[in-house]
Structure formats: structure tokens, C-alpha cells
Structure 1
Amino acid sequence: MDLSLDRPEGYLFVRRVGARGITVVDREFTRSFLLSPEQLVENWPVATAAELDAGHIDAILALKPEVVLLGTGERQVFPAQAFMAGLLKKGVGVEVMDNAAAARTYDLLAGESRRVVAAFILPAERRE
């Protein structure tokens, strides 16, 4: 049997989600980031969903989404109401889920050419 790798062309996609990192195309990220089909914003300054507030919305809106998928780590954790309301007031839908579910949903929507942004929260590295 002949197997071939089907790699989407024309947009950034999530290849793998692990407990400590997420691989976009062929590069692994271990710090929180924002992802749209055309652009990746590294080092988004968020380590937990509890940190999110209205001040974190501008970086997301700069990517011009119609829907935001908030990946909150290994488990789904809802952020403060002010964060959610800030996006909804701008007419942007928001869904909160764990990182694996956010990655699957992002890949599906990006493959349909939707204006989606995935905001992935990865915990800060622990220093011993």
C-alpha cells in the first residue's frame, strides 16, 4: 500500500498537539500564540485563562477574525466575562475549548477558508 502525506497548501495548519507544545506546519511552539490561516503571532503574553481580560483582545482583533477559538490548555477553562464580552461586542464569535479540540476545529475552519483565529494558551515553562 502506498501512503502519501496530504499537506494543506495555502494556509497555516496545526499538525500536532501535545501537553507541552503545539506543532504548526513543521515548527513546535511551547509558549502561547495566536494563529490565523495567514499569520502566526508568537509569544502571546498569556499563561492561563484566568489572566485574560479586555486588554488581550486587540492582538486577536488585529488578525480580523469572524470567530475565535480559545484553546485553554489540556482542559477547557472559561476566561473572565470581560474578555468574552469584549469579543462579542465587536461582532466576533468565540468558542472556548481545550487545545486539542481548538486545533481540530481550527484546521477544519481554515480548510474551509473561514476567517478563524485560534488563541492557544500554553503554560509557562516551570523552572526548578
Structure 2
Amino acid sequence: MSTPRSNRAQGLTNMLASEVPPPVQVLSVGSGGISLADGLVLRGPAVFLEGRVWLWDVPVSKSRTGEASWEGWDQDCFKLFEVVVPRPEILIVGTGEKMSLFPPVLRKYLNGLGIQVDAMDTRNACSTYNLLAEEGRHVAAAVLPPNPAAWRRSQ
């Protein structure tokens, strides 16, 4: 059951509004990054979860074939999903410009948290995420742009 939102200034109550924020919507994916509906362009890895965009500090490198390299990836890269409540039922992983097989050990870890994992190239991952989010599914996306750049940490 949703909780009504009140606008005291106008004296109106929206009986259909819920506490769940609207999903992040991806407009396009290209060599310049991932463009969102609100105008934000992501050039580094990100997680879309509960209507928010999280910068995702993960190793970004490609193999010689142009696929995502999973070297340096471990469970710590997905710790966010241990603490969110409720957890998404599906995590769409965007592996960059090309489809790359998701490491079985990480899939097993996420499945152990009750999260189904689907990995695909980032363009298809963003399309799938948009579709599932519009259907109202409890979905998250963890995406690497086609030409990912590591996020710079500020001091």
C-alpha cells in the first residue's frame, strides 16, 4: 500500500504516489558514455538502484579482444547489494562495448543474496533495465560504459 504524499501549500494529497522514486532512465549509450534522461552523462562505471545513480569504483580494463576484463574484481565490488533493503530481484550487468561472460564466483555470490544476474553488453543492458523498470520490476543495473574511465577520487 502506498503512502499518500501531501502538498500543504496547495492543500492537495496524491493518493497514487508511492515512496519509491521514479527509475533512472537511460536515453542512449555511445562512445562518449551513458546519457540519462535528466541530462547527466556517465563516462565511468555506475549503478542504477532505487531511482538513484551511484558512482561505482571498480577496476576498468579491457582484454585484447575488447571485452571487459574481470581481473581485480571480487565480492567487494558488489557489497552495496548486501546492505540495500529491499534487494533488487534482478541485477542487469552491462559489460561495456562487448558482451563478456560474468565470473561464476560473482554470480554465485549475488545469487546467494537472492539476486538474479543477467550480463550483456551495456547498450542492451540499459535497454533491458529501462524496460524492466518501466514494468515496475525491482531491478538494478551495474554498468560499464563502452569506453569506461575510472572515477577520480578527490581528497
Do the structures match in fold with TM over 0.5? yes
How many angstroms apart in 2 are the aligned matches of 1:114 and 1:46?
Answer: 29
Larger-gyration structure (1/2)? 2
CA pair 117-109 structure 1, distance change in 2 beyond 3 A: same
Partner deviation per Cα, 1:4-32 (whole Å, 9 max, x = no partner): xxxxx932100110124001221100000
- Residue 95 of structure 1 aligns to a residue whose secondary structure is strand
Partner deviation per Cα, 1:49-93 (whole Å, 9 max, x = no partner): 514322212124444211000000010112322111100111110
CA pair 99-77 structure 1, distance change in 2 beyond 3 A: same
How many angstroms apart in 2 are the aligned matches of 1:32 and 1:113?
Answer: 24
Query: Normalization by structure 2: what TM-score?
Result: 0.68
> Which segment is superposed worse, 49-58 or 28-37?
49-58
How many percent of aligned residue pairs carry the same amino acid?
26
> What is aligned with 2:149?
124
- For structure 1, the residue ranges without an aligned partner over 5 or more in a row are 1-8
**Number of paired residues?**
117
Are positions 1:103 and 2:126 aligned together? yes
- Residue 15 of structure 1 aligns to a residue whose secondary structure is strand
> What is aligned with 2:15?
none
CA pair 56-62 structure 1, distance change in 2 beyond 3 A: same
- The answer on whether the counterparts of 1:72 and 1:97 sit within 8 Å (CA) in structure 2 is yes
Are positions 1:46 and 2:59 aligned together? yes
- Residue 101 of structure 1 aligns to a residue whose secondary structure is helix
Which structure has more relative contact order (CA 8 Å, sep 6+)? It is 1
* Structure with the higher helix share, 1 or 2: 1
**Equivalent residue for 2:24, pick from 8, 12, 15:** 12
Query: Normalization by structure 1: what TM-score?
Result: 0.81
> Which segment is superposed worse, 57-66 or 69-78?
57-66
RMSD between aligned alpha carbons? 1.9
How many angstroms apart in 1 are the aligned matches of 2:40 and 2:138?
Answer: 22
Are positions 1:24 and 2:49 aligned together? no
> Which segment is superposed worse, 51-60 or 87-96?
51-60
CA pair 33-70 structure 1, distance change in 2 beyond 3 A: same
- The answer on whether the counterparts of 2:107 and 2:117 sit within 8 Å (CA) in structure 1 is yes
